[in-house]
Structure 1
Amino acid sequence: MLVEILPLRQVPRALDQLTYRVPKELLDTISVGQIVKVPFRKSFISGLVLSLHSTDTIHLQNIKDVDSIICALPLLNQEYVLKLQEVAKMYSTSAGDLVKKCLPPLQVRKLKSLKSFHLPQYKTQKGKKKIQYHYYSTQQEHANFLKKASKGKTLIIIPETFYKNTLLSIFQNQKNIPIIFDSSDTTKQLYENWFALHSNESNIIIGLRNAVFLPLYLFDTIIVDYEHEQNHKHWDQKPRFHVKDVLDILSPTLKANIHYASFCPSVSSYHSLYNDIFSFEKKLSKTTLLFSKQKSFPCIIDMKDEKRGKNFSFFSEYVQNLIFETEENLFFYLNRKGFARSVGCSHCDNIESCAKCHLPLTYFKDEKVLRCNYCQYTESFSSTCKKCKSSLVELQGVGIEMVESELKRALPDIKKNIIRIDSNTSEIPSFSDSRNIVVGTARALGVIDFKKFDKIIILDLDRQMLIPEYMATENMWSTLCFFEFFSQSMSKIIIQTHNTQHFLLKSLQEKDRFYRTELLLRKETLYPPYIALSRYFYGGRSPELAYQEAKRVYDTLKRTLTETRKSVTIIGPIEMQPRYFRNQYWYCIIAKMTKEAWENDLPWLNAHFPPSWKVDPNPISLLSP
């Protein structure tokens, strides 16, 4: 007898399903759904039994035997395993790796001793349910929605760990304390939580994006909270899945009601609301808006006027008055590490750049070094130009260290209460009872209580919107909405800008205007949600080798598409930014597909890229490796 095994680990695509022989001693006990131990290369691995079939002994040459049964009780519905295999094809990853995420930790001793386990039925649904959308503008509305929507066994998926405490406070008076699924938990805790999940109690489960690979057929309700957040996307390693995409594939076969919720709808969600793809309390139209007109909105300061008034500081006159003339708590937002963004020569216009990435080096005054924020290349700072030996070297652009330094110089009496928070900050310092001033990057957003700050000053909005990514403006919009929501009108938001006519700023009082303008731009340039995107990128030891491989794959695929798949358009090869990252040089190919055919086109495309390429469907960045 032969058995088909799904290796429960990341393996090459060609080895995603392996055939083994069943030894005589296991013929009466082996069955579909069991977890078994099998030889793989020079070691042993765990695998899931997919199917059994008899065959003639002539065909059994060079086939290895199953070693032993680890868990005799099926822990996962086989129909659901088949759906996960479909998901694996979408992300060009091994199905066994996804199935492993659905199982408890593979502790051999505990699984072998398992005597009983009730495997719930997998009741497939006919047709696809509409996703229900919920918009909340206050924290009380958020709490009310979660309590009302959490019916039966509920899974709430959040994008960041810091949202966990918010949800726990909402459900603190529940009869059953919510179960937290966190990959940082101990193996023992993960094992206990997995079996608690299968109890008959109507538990609330809170988890990060990997929770989308729990056995979803167990749940009556699935909520994707803060749905606009980019960290619902697993962007930094394989498989590069998005929670909403996985649910979109699995939802037709699930009994659960699926809810998306946010205080700041993503652009794609707004498009779905407008086109009646999502279920919502009202139908949006040209005259029916999602948002009510804002009674209060940020103060916008034109920095061009400041310069015309001979104020060349990076603080406007109004902000300087807040610093010097008031005792208010202030938060300065600048998403830029270091003291200065670059160092240049005013004599020969040379910019000190990374030899590998070709990007400007950031000056860190505390360490007196120039460093690349991507590959971490570091060199000592010199006040003399390396190219022309001129002493006319100047610092260009404002970094978070410069803002901190200027504030401490101007306010020596409260120097200890001026705090910098960036990605290098390991421990968040406690705030004093007197005046506090915080200078922070995006790292600060989840770690401080914005209701304690009188003013939130955004120093560098323009540069963030100039990033050459189609989602750059949306990302800045969600940051503004974050400040507005979590300050709960307790803080006044101040924006310094050189472009007061930008449509994002014009939309602050009429929020629907932002979404409709952004959607119009994406429609004209063919970006999501009007098409589906996938990017494929390759890293080589030299820029020449990386480009040659990217060009070879592009040319081959272009010919194939012309002959067989005219619904897919590819662009490339494109040098990524930074071009040198993790000791390799990177090039990418971008594929555009119709929304109607992407579930068929994507697996086909994935199969035409060599295994050495990285696959990233629905990317949150086109150019960053």
Structure 2
Amino acid sequence: MYILKIIPIAKGLPENYFSYFSKEKLPLGSLVEIKIKNRKVAGLVSETSKVEKEKINLKSQKFTLKKIERVIKENFIDENLFQSIVEVSILLGVKESEIIKNYIPEFVFENIDSFSDESFLNKKSIERYFIESFEKRHLEYLNLIKYNFKEGKTSLIFFPTISDLETTKKYFESKNIQNIATFHSSQTKKELKNNLEKLKEKSLLILSTPSLLPFLIANKINLKTVILEKENSYNYFSHAARKQIDAREIIKKIAKDLNLDLILAGNILSLQSFKDFKSSKNLESANKKSFTIIDLSKEKELKKEELEKRIKKISNKKESKYNSVYFSEELIEKLEEIKKNKDKVFLYAKRKGLYTETICSDCNTIFKCRNCDKPYILFKKQNQNEVERFYICSNCKDKIELKKSENLICENCGSWKMNTLGVGTQGIEENLKEIGFKTFLLDSESVKTKKEIKNILESWQKEKSSILIGTDLALNFLNRDFEIDLGAIISLDSLFSIPEINIDEKILNICLELKEKINSREKIIIQTRLKEQEVWDYLKDNNILGFLKDELEIRESFNLPPYANILKFRLTKKEIRSKENIERILKRIFDEEKIKFEKIIWRIEKKTGNHIGILTLSKDFWQIKKEGKIFPSSFAKKVITLLQDFHLEINPPNVLLP
């Protein structure tokens, strides 16, 4: 008799495990049918143990252990693959169920026979890294795919977004590559069925957003090479899970464990991959300089009369009133050229809305969300003959509406002298409309569906002398097929105020992503009032490798990722008593593993009152390396087993410096 820990595969059930018993010992990854509250659902076996070993635990349980209904398929997920999932879940500080539910699509369980596979393990593999332009990267991929086709092997490329996938698919189709199967969340059932049929081929090219699907049939399709395209992208983080999960780490771990060839590439690498790459001198690139950095700080000193005089000189039109908050002299000149030549422009802004901050002139208090303490963003909406003004919190979406005659009053001192600051997409759009430009706005406030996004992009491309203003949403949907004559970043300065350890890396990623998606001879214009920030020098000189090397040196000297792991605990007001339990359990684990005890640094979030704990640990404590593969240490296993339920995250993408 055996006790089985089962992960249920069904909607509406918690990310948890359920215990059942079975007469037979079942391999990990076997698919079984279980009953939960008179509802029959499928489940995966994630752990198995003999009843004799669990007698003490069984006696203390307040419920009766039920028998599984039936075995649907033994080894539905190969044991080697399932073991990799278990290990990477420990390394990332999440449950196996969270990885399975987020990265194995539902239709896999509806087509069981198509995805059952034999045990798979290649004899040897290689690992490669390179930083190159889109053209050079894809030429490398093309040669590799053709070689694999000759050998009867399959190549697999992962992408951070569907737009990136579709761009690459067009490229390979233009190069006469046949047998391409694609998988992503926006496909219809008919499209999925057609692509599943292609998996019967012994050698093909698979293009996919992050998913475990191709690994389930690695042997059946002769999988040889895995490529992580745009490996630096933060879009690889899953936002559907209870915690944010880095899909790159899952893909890398499984590819290495199955001895598949692994390529990590992009116009820049993540710091983790750059650290892992030992011969970085081979990455040197002779790409031309692609950015113009414009200092906007002097615009503060510009008087209204001087601004109008300058505008008149540039545009020869008295009515042209470019707002100096948004536009430098250089950008105005470019926009006037665009008008004459009837070209197309993309203007990127990090924030949506009219203004990103509202501040009291008397006491300098920022108008912040009553729930989460984040600044409110001011929006404006035209409803028939009335203009509606409202504030929305970018974090929790709390909304405050202002009546037509209503003025905002400072919560701190009661003053009505409230000034609006910051650069938002609506503010840029309003100013350009006043000047006479045809504009299109693309952010999460102006559109809600993919169909609306598609319509806006098509309308923008059809219109002569038009400007698209957008946030990350627009950037994700742009591709090299769009006709774009000029690209500019209005401002990224607000990001520098966020005390995250990855902020310079994120800024660099945005700029390089924009350049790659705009197929123009013109340099990308970046405006800033903080020209002294070092990241601009790296971009201006195209010294991307220099940035990575210097950033790694800083991270190493301060013991930060990728040289260390940051464990983040979040406790609500009701859970504050748990702090002592966490520290007591950690002390015990440190003692058992004979590691010097490190204390958690706690801070309290304003308004929410949540207690945030940060613990920085050397990666050597967390993982073990054997023959080029990574495994969780006994220390990591104990921490995850005993502390996972205390809202624990490992290296979250938005971790703040303590």
Q: Which runs of 5+ in 1 are unaligned?
A: 277-282
Could you tell me which amino acid in structure 2 is paired with residue 177 of structure 1? N
Change (3 A) 1:354 1:21: same
1:18 is aligned to 20
Change (3 A) 1:591 1:202: farther
C-alpha distance in 1 between matches for 2:611 and 2:499: 16
What SS class does the counterpart of residue 620 from structure 2 fall into? coil
C-alpha distance in 1 between matches for 2:270 and 2:115: 41
**Cα pair 1:178 1:203 within 8 Å, conserved:** yes
1:145 is aligned to 140
Change (3 A) 1:346 1:176: same
Q: CA deviation at 1:452?
A: 2.7
C-alpha distance in 2 between matches for 1:246 and 1:107: 20
| In the alignment, structure 1 residue 619 sits paired with structure 2 residue 652 | yes
Deviation string, structure 1 residues 101-149 (Cα, Å, up to 9, x no partner): 55873767x65xx6x98733323657xx552113222x32132112122
Q: What is the RMSD computed on CA atoms of the aligned residues?
A: 3.6
What SS class does the counterpart of residue 105 from structure 1 fall into? helix
Deviation string, structure 1 residues 2-56 (Cα, Å, up to 9, x no partner): 474633448889846532347xxxx9xx998753322345533323468999989
2:614 is aligned to 590
1:159 is aligned to 160
| In the alignment, structure 1 residue 322 sits paired with structure 2 residue 322 | no
What SS class does the counterpart of residue 469 from structure 1 fall into? coil
**Cα pair 1:217 1:256 within 8 Å, conserved:** no
1:370 is aligned to 391
Q: Which runs of 5+ in 2 are unaligned?
A: 308-323, 382-387, 623-631
Could you tell me which amino acid in structure 2 is paired with residue 603 of structure 1? K
Could you tell me which amino acid in structure 2 is paired with residue 290 of structure 1? E
| In the alignment, structure 1 residue 402 sits paired with structure 2 residue 427 | yes
| In the alignment, structure 1 residue 77 sits paired with structure 2 residue 78 | yes
Could you tell me which amino acid in structure 2 is paired with residue 147 of structure 1? L
Change (3 A) 1:604 1:148: farther
C-alpha distance in 1 between matches for 2:27 and 2:249: 32
C-alpha distance in 2 between matches for 1:261 and 1:476: 19
Return the match for 2:296 from 294, 298, 303: 303
Q: CA deviation at 1:264?
A: 1.8
1:291 is aligned to 285
Q: TM-score, normalised by structure 2?
A: 0.78
Deviation string, structure 1 residues 189-214 (Cα, Å, up to 9, x no partner): 657755753x3521211111224773
1:472 is aligned to 503
Q: CA deviation at 1:529?
A: 1.9
How many residue pairs end up in the alignment? 582
Q: CA deviation at 1:94?
A: 4.4
2:311 is aligned to none
Deviation string, structure 1 residues 446-493 (Cα, Å, up to 9, x no partner): 223566333322222222233211111001111111122222443321
Q: CA deviation at 1:567?
A: 5.7
C-alpha distance in 2 between matches for 1:391 and 1:88: 52
| In the alignment, structure 1 residue 460 sits paired with structure 2 residue 491 | yes
| % identity of equivalent residues | 20
1:439 is aligned to 469
C-alpha distance in 2 between matches for 1:117 and 1:371: 45
1:279 is aligned to none
What SS class does the counterpart of residue 333 from structure 1 fall into? strand
Could you tell me which amino acid in structure 2 is paired with residue 607 of structure 1? T
Q: Structure 1 residues 400-409 or 385-394, which shifts more?
A: 385-394
**Cα pair 2:122 2:260 within 8 Å, conserved:** no
Could you tell me which amino acid in structure 1 is paired with residue 654 of structure 2? S
Q: CA deviation at 1:154?
A: 1.7
Q: CA deviation at 1:291?
A: 2.8
Return the match for 2:639 from 597, 605, 616: 605
What SS class does the counterpart of residue 597 from structure 1 fall into? helix
C-alpha distance in 2 between matches for 1:206 and 1:145: 16
Deviation string, structure 1 residues 480-537 (Cα, Å, up to 9, x no partner): 1112222244332112222323221111213332222222222222212222333333
Return the match for 1:537 from 570, 573, 576: 570
What SS class does the counterpart of residue 608 from structure 1 fall into? helix
Change (3 A) 1:234 1:120: same
Return the match for 1:258 from 258, 262, 281: 262
**Cα pair 1:316 1:496 within 8 Å, conserved:** yes
Change (3 A) 1:619 1:347: closer
Change (3 A) 1:308 1:99: closer
Q: CA deviation at 1:96?
A: 5.2
1:122 is aligned to 120
What SS class does the counterpart of residue 42 from structure 2 fall into? strand
Q: TM-score, normalised by structure 1?
A: 0.82
